[in-house]
Amino acid sequence: MNSLKIKKNDTVVVLSGKDKGKQGKVLGTIPSEAKVVVEGINKVTCHIKPRKQGEEGGITQREAAIYASKVQVVCPKCGKRTRVAHKMVYNERKKKDVAVRICGKCGAEL
């Protein structure tokens, strides 16, 4: 199974494709396919069929999943796109070291 370095609620920037350069918040991840769903990115048109009597059908737009390799995390402290690094930090509650995600450029915690 793939391990993603991008998590829900991260701010990411798109590196390639029709939405190149746009930023958005990660709404969800699909680790088995190595994909992420980003707010306002990769919009697709969906045709909704009415299921109940009186319900309206129509055409709507929603975000589709894109490959995680096409996006990069934006550091909340320095504001630059960065690779995700990991650092071991001792956790008092768990009484052991845990891995913490940090910015590869400025060292701030993500």
Q: Are residues 62 and 91 in the same domain?
A: no
Task: Report how many domains make up the chain.
Answer: 2
Least Cα distance to 76 among 44, 99, 103, 38 occurs for: 103
HEC assignment per residue over the chain: CCCCCCCCCCEEEECCCCCCCCEEEEEEEECCCCEEEECCCCEEEEEECCCCCCCCCEEEEEECCEEHHHEEEECCCCCCEECEEEEEEEECCCCEEEEEEEECCCCCEC
Q: Are residues 7 and 56 in the same domain?
A: yes
Q: Are residues 87 and 104 in the same domain?
A: yes
Least Cα distance to 79 among 56, 110, 45 occurs for: 110
Q: Are residues 40 and 10 in the same domain?
A: yes
| Residue 86 lies in domain | 77-110
Give the model confidence (pLDDT) of 13-66 as tens digits. 999 999 999 999 999 999 999 999 999 999 999 999 999 998 888 999 999 999
Q: Are residues 56 and 25 in the same domain?
A: yes
Share of the chain above pLDDT 70, in %: 98
pTM of the model: 0.82
Cα gap 77→67, rounded to integer Å: 25
Q: Are residues 59 and 83 in the same domain?
A: no
Whether 21 and 74 have beta carbons less than 8 Å apart is answered as no
